[in-house]
Copies of this chain bind each other. A is one copy, B any other.
Amino acid sequence: MGRTAGRDPEQTRAALLDAASRLVRERGISATLDDVARRAGVSKGGLLYHFASKHELLLALATDWLERFRVAVLAAVPPDDDAPGRLVRAYVRVSIDGALDAAATRDALVVIAHLSTVDAVTELARADAQRWQEDLRADGLPEDVLSLVLAAADGVSAQPVWGMEPAPEELTRLREHLLALTVVDR
């Protein structure tokens, strides 16, 4: 018993969030605190030390994802690109490459959908979506192109939720197509 040899509390927190993430996407919101703790290699007491309640854990989970996505998109803006649509292009790349690699973003939506029963999370997502809309609108693309490209990018993220799994090659082609659409104009 006691602190696990030289473990950073931040690491523990991250391990808890990661375990929670995977469990929520497997079992939905009915994932158990016990399970989350066990998978993270932490006791239930330890979990409740970091997150005072299940509600708080789920909220942290959602916050974490939204922020990761935002950071990923901002990081995907090439420094030498200052043409209109640079942010939209980064958004497209992260959305589709997230769908390409089997891991992260693909399932994030499932989790957010699961969490949508938690009111606070719904509100969080709504606020975040609004912010995206403003940021992307300020990116200088004509509205028609913007809504088309955005819908398509979001569609790719969403399709796996209802069992649609486009071939990687098809996704690559679609990505290039979308990127091209954001450049046609000047």
A interface list, Cβ under 8 A from B: 26-30, 109-110, 112-114, 116-117, 122, 125-130, 132-133, 143-144, 147-148, 150-159, 161-166, 170, 173-174, 177-178
9 contacts between A and B (CB under 8 A): A26-B117, A112-B161, A125-B163, A147-B166, A147-B170, A148-B174, A151-B156, A152-B152, A152-B155
Which of B28, B133, B153, B174 is close to A114, meaning CB atoms less than 8 Å apart? Answer: B28
CB proximity of A71 to chain B, nearest CB, Å = 17
A113 to chain B, nearest CB (A): 3
Q: Are A148 and B158 in contact (CB under 8 A)?
A: no
Closest chain B residue to A173 by CB distance?
B144
From B26, B116, B128, B164, give the contact of A28 (CB < 8 A).
Answer: B116
Chain B residues near A28 (CB-CB < 8 A): 28-29, 114, 116-117
Asked if residues A161 and B116 are in contact (CB atoms below 8 Å), the reply is yes
**Closest chain B residue, CB of each to CB of A123:** B163
Complex: how many Å from CA A14 to CA B128? 37
Given the interface contacts A154-B158, A155-B155, A173-B147, does A116 sit within 8 Å of B125 by beta carbon? no
CB contacts (< 8 Å) of A112 on chain B: these are: 161-162
**Nearest CB on B from A149, distance (A):** 8
- Distance in Å from the Cβ of A92 to the closest Cβ of chain B? 11
A126 to B148, CA, bound (A): 26
- Are B173 and A128 in contact (CB-based, < 8 A)? no
A163 lies within 8 A of B128 (CB): yes
Q: Once bound together, how far apart are the Cα atoms of A24 and B37, in whole Å?
A: 27
